Structure 1
Amino acid sequence: MVYPANGKPSVILLVEDNPADQEIMKMAFNDDDEFSAKVLAITIENGVEAMEYLNRKGEYSDSGSSPRPDLILLDINIPLMDGKAVLKEIKSKSELKNIPVVMFTSSENEKDIVESYALGANAYLTKPDEIDDFVWMIQSTGFYWLFMAKLSSNREFG
């Protein structure tokens, strides 16, 4: 496994309000040697804060402490601004639209799936019930999007 071209760890923005799911997601990246030194996972708990981070507003105005994400894992059912509204805003901004966004949610509702893809989601994954399956899915998703997929070199960020 290699670092991105800039030699720095890849940044994953986890937009998730459930503390138990946050811990499992962080564990998936931090407890695996393949990821721990190669990935920086940043957790945000609501949609408004996610957009503040991505737009470099308020406490996130410093690019050094708020690096551009290489991947966003986004729950649909988050407070203040739901995941679909966050996705819509991300995909409407030229400086953000190339960041892969994977909807990672407990919703199996067909309407949520269809709307998420229509809004530009790169993938839609349903959270497994078993912790081992949850960890495997997070690690596999991170590995694919960060180290296998060829993404646009247009990496400009607010």
Structure 2
Amino acid sequence: MEEFFMKIYLRSMNRSIEVSKEEHDNYYRDINAYRRTQQNHGRCTCPKADYRYCDMDCWTCKYHRAGDTVSLDCPKTNEEGDEESMLDKMVDEAADTAAIAADQLLLEALIKRMDELAPGIFHAFELRQDGLSDTEIAQELDIPRTTLLSRMKKVTTILTEEFF
């Protein structure tokens, strides 16, 4: 049985090599799928005669085009008929990061102060957040319910005065 050979072009070596049909198909499978995607978006204008030269390095290819890729500041019309750009929708990450860091520092300070005022009380607030009743929290902490409530009220009052 005669084996059928095909050629693969290697642009980096500027030459073609002979391979089996199976190796050829495996080599070009992903390349062809990628090229078709780029063509569908208008980013590749490679003629069919030159498909064999495609190696998915579009940025250095002479057939590369901008296609449907637009700038972030390119205006588009939204549902209400107003013009806006993607740049307008982007969140200022620096401001968000600073706010998150500030919130984190505040939370750490609050928890530290809570622990100074009444050791273990933060856990009681966590349990309340989880939906446990005051009676269940008091049982878990092994203290009377009225003691729990007075400690929580004391901590809340002091923290409100000091931090807010």
Higher strand share: 1
TM-score, normalised via structure 1 length: 0.21
Choose between structure 1 and 2 for higher RCO, CA contacts under 8 A separated by at least 6 residues: 1
The higher radius of gyration belongs to 2
Q: TM-score, normalised by structure 2?
A: 0.21
